[in-house]
Amino acid sequence: MTAGPLSDVERVAWLRLARTPNVGPVAFEHLLQRCGSASAAVDALPDLARRAVDIPTRAEAQRELEAGDRLGARLICGADPAFPPLLAALDPPPPLIWVLGDAGILTRQAVAVVGTRVASAAGQRFARTLATDLGHVGKLVVSGLARGIDGAAHEGSLPTGTVAVLGGGVGDIYPPEHADLHARIARAGAVVSESPPDHRAQARDFPRRNRLISGLSLAVVVVEAELKSGSLITARLAAEQGREVLAVPGSPLDPRARGTNDLLRQGATVCEGAEDVLRTLEGLGGLRERERRRWSGPAESPPDGLRDHLEALLSPTPVTIDELVRAAAAPAPAVFAALVELSLAGLAEFGPGGTVARREP
């Protein structure tokens, strides 16, 4: 996505395209490249999907913008110069975010501090101290505003800069007891979400929220986490994004340490304090330009028959796009274009690591 100012008309089109069912970040990026603009992509969607598409109307998009205005939030699209560079480096980047508070702090070097909601007193103290120490050396602290470790990390970094990433909209306060914390973060830091401003969080929203937490950060520190904790999903996403993953070791007798200890067995860096985080960050280079996928290529329409052939090749088991290119014996850009059309029709679903699977009805 090329950075540049968006007209009001195109900004509404970005929002409409991003809110269209089955248009995820992969399809959104391809459609912009293939059609040249969000406005053109919106117009082309029914033909590309070969079916009726539930595209939000201009009036619906305008109502979302007005909801954000009422909260004092700002919509930042991927083409805006203010879009956070670390998010822009993701493959693919989120099309847009809503920000309540100071969007300027999202350009700072950030570290995510996450963990279980049912945290021990010692774990909360560690998270609060770690966040305070990181803030004192100029690092922005990112977390998810949840109970336990997240709340402690925000409290420790409020004076120096913290970002709360939400599954619901920036106006959706959860848990309710964090209403005051949410308000203080909005005044002194930033609240960020991909969801519409007044959207109430649902289970399906949290993978996107976790992807934003790791995407905004150079490193993710997991303080306490059970083996099935959502914090481990954040850590996995961080590793896929090329971020550093650190974990705080704990007693094998405490279930809240099993997830973090497992991360250490998988190669995560031990974190016993801010010094470990800073040492890890020192070994990182500067931001690199995102490499384009080999199979994204010049955007073009797939040849007749390729879409049906690929639909027959897909199964519920994810396969890489490179495997499909070989199986179809077709050019990679054409295969990718056909897969995007299948995803728009609700027949395919893109997954992490350049994979795709048949979407079950």
Place of tokens 């059970």: 226
Do 77 and 22 belong together in one domain? yes
pLDDT at 107: 94
Q: Return the exposure string of 303-316: e unless at least 16 CB atoms fall within 10 Å of the residue's CB, then b.
A: eeebbebbbeebee
- Number of structural domains, the chain? 3
How many whole angstroms separate alpha carbon 77 and alpha carbon 84?
10
**92 lies in some domain:** yes
pLDDT tens digit at each of 361 positions of the chain: 444 578 999 999 999 999 999 999 999 999 999 999 999 999 999 999 999 899 999 999 999 999 999 999 999 999 999 999 999 999 889 999 999 999 999 999 999 999 999 999 999 999 999 999 999 999 999 999 999 999 999 999 999 999 999 999 999 999 999 999 999 999 999 999 999 999 999 999 999 999 999 999 999 999 999 999 999 999 999 999 999 999 999 999 999 999 999 999 999 999 999 999 999 999 775 544 444 454 444 556 788 899 999 999 999 999 999 999 999 999 988 999 999 999 999 999 998 878 999 987 6
Within a domain: 57: yes
- Helix-then-strand count for the chain, H and E: 15, 12
pLDDT, residue 6, reads 85
Q: Which of the listed residues 77, 101, 125 is the one where a domain comes to its end?
A: 101
What's the confidence (pLDDT) of residue 12?
Answer: 96
Cα distance between residue 208 and residue 204, in whole Å: 8
**Beta strands 269-270; 219-222: pairing state:** unpaired
Helix 321-328 × helix 332-344 angle, to 10°: 110
Residue 110 and residue 97 share a domain: no
Q: Classify residue 1: in a domain, yes or no.
A: no
Same-domain status, 157 and 83: no
Residue written as tokens 């250490």?
264
Please identify which residue in the block is written with the tokens 């290529």: 297
200: containing domain: 106-282
CA distance 361 to 353: 23
Beta-carbon count within 10 A of 184 CB: 16
The predicted pLDDT at position 292 comes to 44
Q: What's the CATH number where 325 sits?
A: 1.10.10.10
Residue 99 β-bridge partners: 74, 192
Domain assignment of residue 297, yes or no:
no
Q: What does the alpha-carbon distance between residue 73 and residue 55 come to, in Å, rounded to a whole number? A: 24
Phi/psi class of residue 299: alpha, beta or left (left: φ > 0; alpha: ψ in -120 to 50)? beta
Looking at the structure, do residues 121 and 209 belong to the same domain, yes or no?
Answer: yes
Is 253 within the bounds of a domain? yes
Do 115 and 75 share a structural domain?
A: no
Question: What's the burial of 341, exposed, middle or buried (CB within 10 Å: 0-12/13-18/19+)?
Answer: buried
pTM: 0.91
Let me know if residue 293 belongs to a domain: no
Nearest residue to 330 (alpha-carbon basis) of 358, 310, 357, 314: 310
Instruction: Specify whether 85 is located in the same domain as 120.
Output: no
Last residue of a domain, which of 45, 76, 101? 101
The owner of tokens 């007693």 is 251
| Residue 190 shares a structural domain with residue 110 | yes
Q: Judge whether 291 lies within some domain.
A: no
Question: Exposed (0-12), middle (13-18) or buried (19+): which is 220, by Cβ within 10 Å?
Answer: buried
Residues 6+ apart with CB under 8 A from 291: 91
Check whether residue 172 and residue 270 sit in a common domain: yes
Of the residues 71, 101, 131, the one at which a domain ends:
101
What region, left, alpha or beta, does residue 23 occupy, with left being phi > 0 and alpha being psi -120 to 50 degrees?
beta
Residue 317, domain member (yes or no)? yes
* Cα 149 to chain centroid, rounded: 20
Beta carbons within 8 Å of 165's beta carbon, 6+ residues apart:
142, 143, 144, 145, 191, 192, 193, 209, 212, 213, 216
> Do 119 and 230 share a domain, yes or no?
yes
Helices (H), the chain: 8-18, 25-35, 38-49, 58-71, 85-88, 121-136, 149-157, 179-188, 206-215, 230-240, 255-265, 274-282, 306-313, 321-328, 332-344
Shared domain check, 267 and 327 = no
Tokens standing for 245? 């993953």
Residues 175 and 90 in one domain: no
**Do residues 218 and 276 share a domain?**
yes
CA dist., res. 186 & res. 272, Å (int): 30
